[in-house]
Amino acid sequence: MEKRRIAILGSTGSIGRQALDVIRQHRDLFEVELLTANNSSELLIRQAIEFDANSVVICNEKKYEEVSEALKPHYIKVFAGMQSVCDLAAGDNVDIVLTSMVGFSGLSSTVAAAKAGKTIALANKETLVAAGKIVMDLAARHGARIIPVDSEHSAIFQCLMGSAGAEIKKIHLTASGGPFRTWERGRIANATSAEALRHPNWSMGSKITIDSATMMNKGLEIIEARWLFGTPGERIHVVVHPESIIHSMVEYEDGSVIAQMGHPDMREAIQFAFSYPFRLPLDNRKLDFAGIGSMTFHDADTDKFPAVSLAYEALEKGGNMACIMNAANEAAVAAFLRDRIGFYDITDIVRSCMDGMDFVADPDLDAIFETDRETYAKAAEMAQKIAASKSF
């Protein structure tokens, strides 16, 4: 395998740090070309020096001086602002772009990487939720390969290898069920952000951990799978599997079901996206089947977790509906993380926005950005009202 030059968009977040750990184990095969961060200047500086990055971008322009001063003695180029992220990710000396920023903010740089025909290691699922059709069309037109990093989608991607041309009968998307799987609805209603942040299996950033607690994460993943694999919603089935050993499954026409397994560790999916189609050793925990003993499965409880139904509905409506759902969810989760609203207010706000915002049947990229902006503002306003009325 030839050495691959990697750009990590969002290197100081959970996925970004785990990606650097993968690179640390294979310095002979992977090289850090570009690192970007929103705000975490100190960690960005440390990472850039350790991995001898060619360039870095700090999105917050107020921190440019600090980063620039620190990296000058190391001859590392420093830029600021979102436009620089897009320009550098599309640069000639980048082979793979890992999109590990949080939420809708990842869209413009993912579009830039797709237009430049890069291999995209996609960790930013919101990009495909908000603009799946546009991003997949751009990638196809410019020859950009998208390799999923989301563990379920990496699993599906791996289950599809070697079955070219075979019809997928069903995708079984596994879900841990999150921290409230066994709680009663009444208790969930009063859950705090601290309780929602205690995920039983996966170590992740705060936004996605709240999404796991509401199961909106699974909702977003249904839509992500639809675009990545071209599988209609009615053939994507969610199955709750609390042990998180099977990361997802593909069922073929002949009834054969292929599963991909491993301990919950995002580095496996990140490394595979970097090394594809090759496999490399990884210093991680290996499965011990006798030790595991048994695995359990059940259907998702959509009364307790309405987000899954909302996602199917958004997929069915098409147009900008999934973008509306995603933007409302981002604003509501931000409010919940500050304990401004209650747990079920998150999905209530999403529901109201899906009913109330303007529907656009065939949105272009500008319409998607506008939908996101307007919906986010509307949802934030609704959260504000709830916070005021409940005196949270």
Pairing of strands 77-80, 55-58: parallel
User: 248: which residues sit within 8 A by CB, 6+ positions away?
Assistant: 151, 152, 153, 155, 156, 159, 171, 172, 173, 174, 259, 260
The nearest distance, CB 271 to Mg ion, in angstroms, is 16
Using the rule CB under 5 A, give the single segment among 15-23, 146-154, 294-302, 344-352 that binds Mg ion: 146-154
Q: What span, in angstroms and rounded, lies between the C-alpha atoms of 137 and 143? A: 10
Would you state the structure tokens that stand for residue 371, as one six-digit string? 């939908």
The nearest distance, CB 221 to Mg ion, in angstroms, is 6
Identity of residue 228: L
The nearest distance, CB 118 to Mg ion, in angstroms, is 22
Looking at the Cβ atoms of 263 and 317, the one nearer to Mg ion is 263
Q: What span, in angstroms and rounded, lies between the C-alpha atoms of 82 and 232? A: 34
Looking at the Cβ atoms of 178 and 363, the one nearer to Mg ion is 178
The nearest distance, CB 314 to Mg ion, in angstroms, is 18
The nearest distance, CB 251 to Mg ion, in angstroms, is 19
Looking at the Cβ atoms of 59 and 215, the one nearer to Mg ion is 215
Looking at the Cβ atoms of 152 and 345, the one nearer to Mg ion is 152
Looking at the Cβ atoms of 264 and 363, the one nearer to Mg ion is 264
Q: Is 33 in the site for Mg ion (CB under 5 A)?
A: no
The nearest distance, CB 172 to Mg ion, in angstroms, is 14
Which residues in the 285-324 window bind Mg ion by CB under 5 A?
Answer: none
Q: Is 150 in the site for Mg ion (CB under 5 A)?
A: yes
Looking at the Cβ atoms of 126 and 152, the one nearer to Mg ion is 152
Which residues are registered as beta bridge partners of 120? 97, 146
Query: Mapping DSSP to helix (H, G, I), strand (E, B) and coil, where does residue 318 land?
Result: coil
Which residues in the 152-181 window bind Mg ion by CB under 5 A?
Answer: 152
User: 294: which residues sit within 8 A by CB, 6+ positions away?
Assistant: none
Which residues are registered as beta bridge partners of 57? 36, 79
Using the rule CB under 5 A, give the single segment among 73-81, 149-157, 318-326, 361-369 that binds Mg ion: 149-157
User: 208: which residues sit within 8 A by CB, 6+ positions away?
Assistant: 102, 217
Which of 107, 67, 68 is CA-nearest to residue 89?
A: 107
Q: Is 268 in the site for Mg ion (CB under 5 A)?
A: no
The contact set with Mg ion (CB under 5 A) reads: 150-152
